[in-house]
Structure 1
Amino acid sequence: MLQSKNTFRHESLQDNKSIQDILKAITKGIGKGKLVFSDDNDSFEIHPEGLLQLKVTASEDESRHRLDLRISWQPKERVLEEKNLKVE
């Protein structure tokens, strides 16, 4: 059964210390296997488990600097079983 895609999105201006605190909370949540995101409008809970895929992208131009972090994973039941490949 396909589940609907649940999403949480938040955008705001933060200072360096606030960003650092948010990143620390994210790393702590990943370690515990549970992340809860919330703001005044919404709350969203996810459970990172197994192997996580990490993608880091950094860019710079004259007017903008950008750092993107993406962490993704698949639920255990959707991860393909590791099978040995035989070629003869």
Structure 2
Amino acid sequence: MRTDGKSFRHESLQDTKAIRDLLKSISQGLKEGHLSFSDADGEIVMEPEGLLQFKLTAAKRQGRHRINMRISWQVDESPEKKEKSLAVRSRR
């Protein structure tokens, strides 16, 4: 695992039931808009919202099967942009 408050990495061997449980937790976190990833070395919290980009790849090569899923989204971290209002006027 690697964590610096902005990134998190964990790698381990799991059986299919454990992987199903992890995927269910991720799915629930996406539904609720709150994901927390942690292990003994640290934690990262994410709040997905709006449109998310989803990428899925699958491959079978030389007896090794792999599935990769990537979910990403943009976060607008500047609150002043959200608070600004637009005004449009004509000369009348």
Shift of 1:5: 7.8
Cα separation, 2, equivalents of 1:13 and 1:5: 24
Shift of 1:62: 1.8
Cα separation, 2, equivalents of 1:34 and 1:77: 16
Cα separation, 2, equivalents of 1:5 and 1:52: 22
Question: Are positions 1:55 and 2:90 aligned together?
Answer: no
Larger radius of gyration: 2
Q: In proportion to residue count, which structure has more strand?
A: 2
Q: SS at the partner of 2:74?
A: coil
Normalised to the residue count of structure 1, the TM-score between the two structures is 0.79
Query: Identity of paired residues, percent?
Result: 51
Specify every segment of 5 or more residues in structure 2 that has no aligned partner in the other structure, as ranges: 79-92
| Equivalent pairs, count | 75
- The structure 1 segments of at least 4 consecutive aligned residues displaced by more than 3 Å after TM superposition are none
Specify every segment of 5 or more residues in structure 1 that has no aligned partner in the other structure, as ranges: 79-88
Normalised to the residue count of structure 2, the TM-score between the two structures is 0.76
Q: Which amino acid aligns with 1:10?
A: H
Q: Which moved more, 1:23-32 or 1:58-67?
A: 58-67
Cα separation, 2, equivalents of 1:66 and 1:42: 27
Quote the RMSD (CA, aligned, Å). Answer: 1.8
